[in-house]
C-alpha cells in the first residue's frame, strides 16, 4: 500500500505524529466496528471487516515510517556542513554578520534581513529576547516562531543549517526549498542562492563575501528569475 493511500484512508495529512496516528486509528476503528456490528447483511459485514483489517495495516505502515524518520533524525543530527571556505573578513570567536536573506517574491518589495553567527529566528512576531529575529509580520501563513537558521563555525568552515519550527515542534505550514513541493524534514543545510519559502514569502540566502556589499547582493538577486511558489493549503 502506498503512503498516499494510507493517509487518505485514515484521514490524516503530513506532518505525522505518533499521537495523531493512534488517535485517528482509535476513532476510525470504533466507527468501522460499529458499522460491522450493525451490518444489515453479510455483504456489508464483509466490507466492514475488510476496512478493519486495512485500518490495522495503515496504522502499522504510518507508525513504522514515523519510527524510521525518528531514527534517521537522531543519526543525522550531527548537522551537515556547508562546503565553503571561511572569509578572511569573518573570523571565528565573536558574533558578527555572516550573510543575508533577501526577499525575492512576486509583487512584493525587496527587503533584506541580516544573518549573524549563532541562531537567527524567523517568525511573524519577535519575542522579547536578545536573539536575532527576522520578522515577516505581513504574511498570515507564517507562524509566530516559524523557523531558525544556525550559523556556526566547524573545523574552520562556516555552516548554515535551516530548522523547521521553534526547536520543540514543526511549523504549521512548513518550509519549502527551491520550489520543491516537499517540505523540509526537520532541518537541512543551506547553500549559496538557495530560495527558502516560509509562508508565501520567498527569501534568497546569500553568504557575506570578503569583498562586496549588501546592495550588490540585492542587485544580483533582483536580476534572477523567481523560483516557483508552493501553494499553502
Name beta bridge partners: 192. none
Do 127 and 64 lie in one domain? The reply is: no
CA distance 205 to 214: 12
Do 22 and 133 lie in one domain? The reply is: no
Residue 173 lies in a domain: yes
Residue 87 lies in a domain: no
Find which of 33-47, 74-88, 150-164 is predicted with most confidence, using mean pLDDT. Answer: 150-164
Q: What is the structure's pLDDT at 76?
A: 47
* 124-164 pLDDT per residue, tens: 988 767 789 999 999 999 999 999 999 999 888 899 999 99
Sequential DSSP letters for 44-111: HHHHHHHHHHHHHHHHHHHHHHHHHHHHHHHHHTT------PPPTTS-TTS--EEEEEEE--TTS---
Do 104 and 49 lie in one domain? The reply is: no
Q: What is the structure's pLDDT at 42?
A: 87
Among 29, 37, 35, 33, which residue's Cα sits nearest to residue 9?
A: 29
* 180-232 pLDDT per residue, tens: 999 998 899 999 999 999 999 999 999 998 877 899 999 999 999 999 999 98
Do 102 and 217 lie in one domain? The reply is: yes
Residue 29 lies in a domain: yes
Residue 132 lies in a domain: yes
Do 131 and 207 lie in one domain? The reply is: yes
Do 128 and 183 lie in one domain? The reply is: yes
Among 135, 142, 132, which residue's Cα sits nearest to residue 198?
A: 142
Do 72 and 102 lie in one domain? The reply is: no
Do 102 and 69 lie in one domain? The reply is: no
Do 117 and 194 lie in one domain? The reply is: yes
Do 117 and 211 lie in one domain? The reply is: yes
Domain with 27 in it: 3-76
Do 102 and 216 lie in one domain? The reply is: yes
CA distance 13 to 25: 14
DSSP annotation of 171 reads -
Residue 153 lies in a domain: yes
Residue 146 lies in a domain: yes
Number of domains, the chain: 2
In angstroms, the Cα distances linking 154 to 117, 150, 164 are: 12, 12, 21
Using a pLDDT cut of 90, give the percent of the chain over it. Answer: 53
pTM above 0.75, yes or no: no
CA distance 123 to 3: 31
Among 195, 110, 211, 95, which residue's Cα sits nearest to residue 150?
A: 95
Max Cα–Cα distance, the chain, nearest Å: 79
Residue 228 lies in a domain: no
In the block, which residue shows the cell 524567523? Answer: 122
Do 71 and 171 lie in one domain? The reply is: no
Report whether pLDDT(78) > 60: no
Report whether pLDDT(166) > 80: yes
The enclosing domain of 195 has a CATH number of 2.60.200.20
Q: Take residue 147 and report the three cell numbers written for it.
A: 523557523
Residue 121 lies in a domain: yes
Amino acid at each position: 500500500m502506498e503512503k498516499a493511500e494510507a493517509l487518505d484512508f485514515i484521514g490524516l495529512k503530513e506532518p505525522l505524529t505518533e499521537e495523531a496516528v493512534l488517535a485517528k486509528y482509535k476513532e476510525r476503528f470504533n466507527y468501522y466496528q460499529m458499522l460491522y456490528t450493525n451490518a444489515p447483511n453479510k455483504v456489508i459485514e464483509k466490507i466492514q471487516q475488510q476496512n478493519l483489517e486495512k485500518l490495522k495495516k495503515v496504522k502499522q505502515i504510518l507508525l513504522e515510517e514515523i519510527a524510521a524518520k525518528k531514527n534517521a533524525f537522531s543519526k543525522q543530527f550531527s548537522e551537515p556542513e556547508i562546503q565553503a571556505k571561511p572569509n578572511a573578513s569573518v573570523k571565528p570567536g565573536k558574533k558578527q554578520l555572516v550573510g543575508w536573506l533577501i526577499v525575492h517574491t512576486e509583487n512584493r518589495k525587496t527587503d533584506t534581513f541580516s544573518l549573524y553567527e549563532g541562531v537567527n529566528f524567523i517568525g511573524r512576531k519577535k519575542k522579547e529576547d536578545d536573539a536575532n529575529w527576522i520578522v515577516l509580520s505581513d504574511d498570515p501563513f507564517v507562524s509566530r516562531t516559524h523557523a531558525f537558521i544556525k550559523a556556526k563555525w566547524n573545523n574552520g568552515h562556516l555552516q548554515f543549517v535551516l530548522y523547521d519550527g521553534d526547536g520543540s515542534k514543526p511549523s504549521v505550514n512548513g518550509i519549502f526549498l527551491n520550489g520543491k513541493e516537499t517540505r523540509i524534514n526537520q532541518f537541512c543545510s543551506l547553500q549559496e542562492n538557495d530560495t527558502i519559502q516560509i509562508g508565501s514569502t520567498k527569501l534568497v540566502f546569500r553568504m557575506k563575501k570578503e569583498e562586496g556589499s549588501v546592495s550588490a547582493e540585492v542587485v544580483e538577486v533582483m536580476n534572477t528569475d523567481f523560483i516557483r511558489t508552493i501553494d499553502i493549503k
